[in-house]
Amino acid sequence: MNSQTDFTQRTVEYEILLARFKELLKKNTYKYTIQREVILETLYKSDEHLTPEALHQLIKEKFPELKTGIATIYRTLSLLEDSDMVTSLSFGSQGKKYELGAKEHHDHMICTKCGTITEFVDEAIEERQHRIAEEFGFEMQDHSMQIYGICKNCKKLRFIYD
């Protein structure tokens, strides 16, 4: 690999994440590659939920010398998702959007006008979800909740454009 590759703005939090990733790879006899790290890093730096396509674009811009193929993006995202390091949100025919799942669990509020995703956590809901799964004899692996609507900002704009 090119040791000149620019990994700026590394935080302690990221270093811990990376260590966890390397450990995960080792445990499964997967190999550490620069492509995998760059994907993790790009997800980490992005505050947004990224589609595989968007992630690919970002990486091509930032690390053009790697010539990372879209297949590697998909493969790595699957790997990360299987290992619970990232989670995805489905948008039907619009595909999936991914985010690093190392953070605290949260739900999503999605604006149907501008597509912006706002995150939130609500303990009461989390708690009810567990209770409901239990009631049904269901072994919960994951859950997701989305609230669809029009965000504060678009509500303002509506008066101008509609």
Q: Which residues bind DNA (CB under 7 A)?
A: 1, 25-26, 29-36, 51-53, 66-72, 74-76, 78, 92-96
How would you classify residue 115: left for phi > 0, otherwise alpha for psi between -120 and 50, otherwise beta? left
Q: Give strand pairing partners of 23.
A: none
CA distance 25 to 1: 18
Q: 87 contacts which partner out of DNA, a second copy, none, CB within 5 to 8 A by kind?
A: none
Q: Which stretch binds a second copy (CB under 8 A): 4-12, 21-29, 36-44, 124-132?
A: 124-132
3-class secondary-structure state, position 87: strand
Main-chain phi, psi angles of 116, to 5 degrees: -65, 140
CA distance 42 to 11: 13
Check residue 91 for interaction with a second copy (CB under 8 A). Answer: yes
At its nearest, how many Å lie between a second copy and the CB of residue 158?
A: 9
Q: For binding to a second copy (CB under 8 A), which residues are involved?
A: 88, 90-93, 95-96, 109, 111-112, 118, 120, 122, 124-125, 128-129, 132-133, 136-152, 155
